[in-house]
Amino acid sequence: MQENHLAYGTPNSDARQEQVEFIWRKNLPDLHVHIPRTQRAEWFSWALGLNERTSYWCSALTRVNPKGKLVKQFAPQGSDETDINVIAAAYNDAAQRLRTGWKDPETHFSSEKQRARVLGKHVEVLENIDGSEVSVWASGKVHFLWKESETSTLSFSIGGSRHLVPRDTTEKRFINFTHEGIAIVDKDGDCILRRDQSDDDMVTWTTKQLSLLPEREELKRCWEYHVPDGTWDEQVDIAELDETAYSIPASFFEPKGSPPLRQKQKSQGYSRPPNPGDGTWIMNEFLNEYLDDVEGGRLFNGKLEDFPERESENLRKLLGDFIRLDKFVAYPWREDWLAWIDTSTSSATSNIRENVKFCRDVTNKSANKSSGRTTSDGKPINLTGTWWYIGARKPDW
């Protein structure tokens, strides 16, 4: 899809609908300065109705209150935010920021910067981030930015646990780099540990644990910048690791609870939210990890070999990779789940969906495509696939 900042296709056409859905999933706050994401229907009506090749952002900007958050981000401190010259200068700065964002979307549309823009704040990306504030999502993921050089800004998203989540909006979390690893601390400097750690641990992640993460090379450079006299402790061969050394202790999953739900099974008696020993717990953890708490998201159900272009959203691929993580070795229902994931049958898919439904609202939309082949009587053969549109996280789940 090209030129996503300009309306593509005629108003309300299928092409426009596809583009608008794509932009909506990107969650770009600069395109919500006029209509908040809580008003989804109104926002879609606006976006679908624009004339072809109209700038989404310019259209949004004409509808924004000049006293609002956009001008507040750029207006000099103490200036009159209703002054036409102040407003014009702010608009110019904002337009330049968005143009830069389309060229460098990974940095510009990072979670920290998006959230800051929603709040009318300005985010400065620093080289030395030791002691700086970080964002912790409701899922327990920790997000922060690091300016590696004048031309490179890295965005990190490290899985933690809900123990790290602030209890209210007044609490803040900060990052500290130590010889042992990385610590997330509160305003008093006390280290906050993950749920699966012991009280003897001194940091939230040791360098050995960080070295197991996909972004380990970037994390290593960031850590070595802040601890120049430290030694990054990592395993030479990850394949030789004791599989249980970095897993959640078996005691965490005790007592063993109810099994995963099956198709059309009644869920009376199942804990809400699930307990760690329940068969539904892993699905709730997976959805919280991969989908937005408020907006939800979508996952694709279809054979990976038929739809390789949708690998990044393939439900079985993502869920299987998640459950196979070393930390879930002791999870009592692990093998039951993997049996469903590795069996591409309609009954296994229905069982998986039943557990998704237990955790969040879900609707389907067909996403079939032609195989390019035909039957012996000339009828086209379609490859079947389905988008599962999954709703918001339930409160306290």
**Per-position DSSP letters for 61-86, written without gaps between them:** HTTS-TTSHHHHHHSPTT--TT-HHH
Q: Render pLDDT for 72-125 as a digit per residue (tens, 0 to 9).
A: 766 777 777 777 787 778 777 777 665 554 444 444 444 445 544 444 444 567
Output the pTM of the full model: 0.43
Of 240, 266, 285, the last residue of a domain is: 240
264, 354 in Cβ contact below 8 A? yes
Do 364 and 259 share a structural domain? yes
Task: Give the domain range for residue 48.
Answer: 14-118
Let me know if residue 8 belongs to a domain. no
SS3 116: helix
Do 106 and 37 share a structural domain? yes
DSSP label of 301: E
> pLDDT band at 290, cuts 50/70/90?
confident
Do 110 and 26 share a structural domain? yes
In this structure, the number of other CB atoms found within 10 A of the CB of residue 253 comes to: 20
pLDDT at 103: 45
Residue 16 to residue 19: CA distance in whole angstroms: 5
Counted domains in the chain: 3
Share of the chain above pLDDT 90, in %: 30
- Which residues fall within 8 angstroms of residue 215, CB to CB, at 6 or more apart? 156
Q: What angle do CA 287, 292, 296 make, to 5 degrees?
A: 75
Q: Per this entry, what is the length of the chain?
A: 397
187, 174 in Cβ contact below 8 A? yes
pLDDT at 49: 93
Let me know if residue 349 belongs to a domain. yes
pLDDT at 19: 85
> pLDDT band at 246, cuts 50/70/90?
low
Of 216, 240, 264, the last residue of a domain is: 240
Let me know if residue 76 belongs to a domain. yes
What are the Cα distances from residue 386, in Å, to 16, 172, 284? 21, 41, 21
